[in-house]
A = this chain, B = another copy of it.
Amino acid sequence: MDTEPTGGASTTVDAEDLPFDVFARACPSRGTLEHVTGKWGGLILGALHDGTFRFNELRRRVDGVSEKMLSQTLHALERDGLVHREAQPTNPPRVDYRLTPLGSAVAERLLALIHLVEDRMPEVLTAQERYDTTRAGSGGTAAAPDAGRAVVAGRGGR
């Protein structure tokens, strides 16, 4: 399913039969997918979907990200052509980040996923409780790995 389809004159590459397959270990698409779906990538793209932001604004919007991770992720995203970086040589320095059209398309799908997850969290929470309960009641020494993951749902966002 991933080998070059022989026979084709390969005049044009049909969008329906691209050679990129994330399920293949060495496909570059897997790397990009990881940048996009990585721990911070998704949140940054999501935040950027609301408009243009400066470095520290972004830092505040994405709760918990460190300077290092933000900078690093932003660079990876910029390199992939998903984010546009515009630095103005003013004083003090001002740098704006915004999504490229491609980044916007990606963010769109990403947000659809994010919203679905947020939307269905009640079900997830229920499932988690049942899972933990079942495990605890059926076995013996339930060491409870990390069952109680801080479940503080305080909509701190602003």
Contact = CB atoms under 8 A, between A and B. Distances in A.
A64 B25 contact: yes
Interface string A57-77: 000011110000000100110
Interface string A61-105: 111100000001001101111100000000000000000001001
A136 interface: no
Interface residues of A, number: 77
Contacts of A76: 145-146
Contacts of A39: 34
Interface of A: 2-4, 6, 15, 18-29, 31-34, 36-39, 42-43, 46-47, 61-64, 72, 75-76, 78-82, 102, 105-106, 109-110, 112-114, 116-121, 123-128, 131-132, 144-147, 149-158
